[in-house]
Amino acid sequence: MVDDPSPDLLSSLSNTSHETEFYTPFPQGYQKGKTKFVVVLGTVMSGLGKGIFSSSLAKILKDKGLRVAPIKMEGYLNIDSGTLNPFRHGEVFVLDDGMETDMDLGTYERMLDENLSRKNFTTSGQIFTRILDRERMGQYLGRDVQMIPHVTGEVKHSLRELAMASNADVVFVEVGGTVGDHENGYFIEAIRELAYEEGEHSVCVVALTYIIEPQSLGEQKSKAAQLGLKQVMQAGLQPQIIGCRCPTPVNDKVREKISMFSNVAMRRVFSMHDVESIYMVPEMLHDAGLDREVLTLLNLHDRVNQKSEDQARRKWQGFVDRMITPREKSVTIAVTGKYASLRDAYASIDKALEHCGVHAACRVNIQWLDTTEITARNVADVLRSCHGVIVPGGFGSRGAEGKIECVRFVRENHIPFLGICLGFQMAVIEYARNVCGLQGANSTEFDPSCPHPVIDILPEQKKIEGLGGNMRLGGKDVILREGSGISRLYNNAAKIRLRFRHRYEVEPRYIARLEEHGLIFGGHAPNQPIMQMLELPTDIHPYFFGTQAHPCLTSRPLSPDAMFMGLITAALRRAAPDELFTPAHAAGT
């Protein structure tokens, strides 16, 4: 154990002139032992579901009345995930404070049912930027800036800052990548130091590993897992909990081997086999006794509130029960987009539809569509059999005309429609062209010199050059028009808050013309003419809504988003053949 840092070392990070072995970046007022840390590392391969594991464990502890705060640490040098291609990395998840993060943050928000902030996400890019900025300001006072203690110190500092800012009982640290990767090596070293400095019962290291089950052998093999765990130990970390990922339950023989080679008692080596849905993982961890072991390791049993746990678990179990109950009804929702081949690129849409399916007691089949091949000629064949269409967000002109054709088809054929961000813009362009007669209407994103730029770059963004960091980002209030369909969907609310990520918007000088022709802008930004919601009246179309926001980002299992819920409800009506919509039908005549 290191001694408690002296008060002047506690005072500030820039206090580096002290000639000491132990660079101790404790934020001012930090109390050791108040907040505990659970660190989740991956071995053998990426894609083990560290985020799902970590968020599920955090959820169970939160249900017990403990305050939890997750943080994802990414090894890449990008400052945030904003410039990452969703086709390679999965969707960019936008937090309320505008931080663009990895999709795992979405998993945490949905599991924990709470909004996170930039404090819950960091990258090597952020860590090094802070250090280099400080170096340029001369704050290292003549010292050479080193990986240890300065870079690892910066990591520990951000973890402790999060602990203080969130007042958490437990901070969950998920280290991106796999142990042994060069780019996250210093995070692992920082965790080793943290565990040492915080002392016993303060840091619980969980190593997730993978048990291979080759078809040709028909049995589970543990060697890769052993080697992976060895790397964790070579880095100076002793795991206290091991989670063995595997398609099928991990047998005792394998668990014994893992236990033996990693000095972790059998009762702390868990089978983390595949289950039907990620929402079943919290209960699975609880049934296996993982939460109890973590509470013991971190000396937390006396912070548990049993009543809170019973209530929260009952609620969650209700959702899971409904999810696994076989559902007779089903709807097919087409989601158009150029990343159609990759579900991860639209993870939140996928999840929002999943939440709604559970609440509406129907199966939601998603038909992913690449719109690059869609034309006026074939659109009917492609869309006729679906009960609803989502045109999601996106960037660039590829597939844009196909999306516009989809919007035209669903508008004319009364197929329930939800346009999200770019999809909202496509709906405006389609309406301008085909209803308002504005030939050549387009977005300046695709055609800067088009005759009718109904979608144009935001005035505030025009001034900012470059790709990264010039979007309207994060949670924003939306003022809903009284009596509009959108306000009805959101329980007659006058104001809601949704998340945004866009550079373009409806050009204000076209608003009146679009509205004169029947398009309703039922929601806009406070104090600015930024249109954020559009709809068609219900006597014209059963469900035609668009939003400049991304409501899928704030859809939660127990409280699905209203626009998505509305879409599924309308799709269910369409799926019931005797209730097909006609305008007269809707008008009640």
Burial class of residue 85, CB neighbours in 10 A (0-12, 13-18, 19+): exposed
Q: Show the site string, 347-386: x = touches ligand GLN by CB under 6 A, - = not.
A: ----------------------------------------
Q: Which of 393, 542, 551, 560 binds ligand GLN (CB under 6 A)?
A: 393
Q: Quick one: which H or E segment has residue 427?
A: helix 422-434
The answer to whether 480 and 493 have CB atoms below 8 angstroms apart is yes
Strand order in 417-420's β-sheet? 362-369, 329-336, 388-391, 417-420, 544-547, 531-535, 520-524, 472-480, 495-502
Supply angle C-alpha 304, 34, 118, rounded to 5.
Answer: 95
Q: Quick one: which H or E segment has residue 566?
A: helix 562-575
Shortest Å distance, C-beta 504 to ligand GLN: 3
Burial of 89-100, coded b for 16+ CB within 10 Å and e otherwise, reads: bbbbbbbbebbb
Site for ligand GLN in 170-229 (CB under 6 A): none
Of 360 and 421, the one with the shorter C-beta distance to ligand GLN is 421
Shortest Å distance, C-beta 457 to ligand GLN: 8
Of 121 and 504, the one with the shorter C-beta distance to ligand GLN is 504
Of 22 and 395, the one with the shorter C-beta distance to ligand GLN is 395
- Cα-based distances in Å from 238 to 196, 206, 298: 11, 9, 15
Shortest Å distance, C-beta 45 to ligand GLN: 31
Q: Is 422 in the site for ligand GLN (CB under 6 A)?
A: yes
- DSSP assigned state of 237: -
The answer to whether 121 and 101 have CB atoms below 8 angstroms apart is yes
Site for ligand GLN in 494-513 (CB under 6 A): 501-504
Q: Please identify the residue of the shown chain whose CB is closest to the bound ligand GLN.
A: 393
Shortest Å distance, C-beta 513 to ligand GLN: 21
Q: Is 100 in the site for ligand GLN (CB under 6 A)?
A: no
Q: Which of 290, 340, 421, 489 binds ligand GLN (CB under 6 A)?
A: 421
Give the binding-site size for ligand GLN (rule: CB under 6 A).
10
Shortest Å distance, C-beta 260 to ligand GLN: 51
In the chain, helix, strand, coil percent, each to 5?
40, 20, 40
Q: Show the site string, 427-456: x = touches ligand GLN by CB under 6 A, - = not.
A: ------------------x-----------
Q: Which of 30, 140, 395, 446 binds ligand GLN (CB under 6 A)?
A: 395
Of 75 and 394, the one with the shorter C-beta distance to ligand GLN is 394
Q: Where are the beta strands (DSSP E) in 387-535?
A: 388-391, 417-420, 441-443, 452-457, 472-480, 495-502, 504-506, 520-524, 531-535
Stretch of 10-18, 240-248, 261-269, 390-398 contacting ligand GLN, by CB under 6 A: 390-398
Beta-carbon contacts of 124 under 8 Å, excluding residues fewer than 6 positions away, are 74, 75, 76, 77, 183
Shortest Å distance, C-beta 501 to ligand GLN: 5
Q: Site residues (CB under 6 A) for ligand GLN?
A: 393-395, 421-422, 445, 501-504
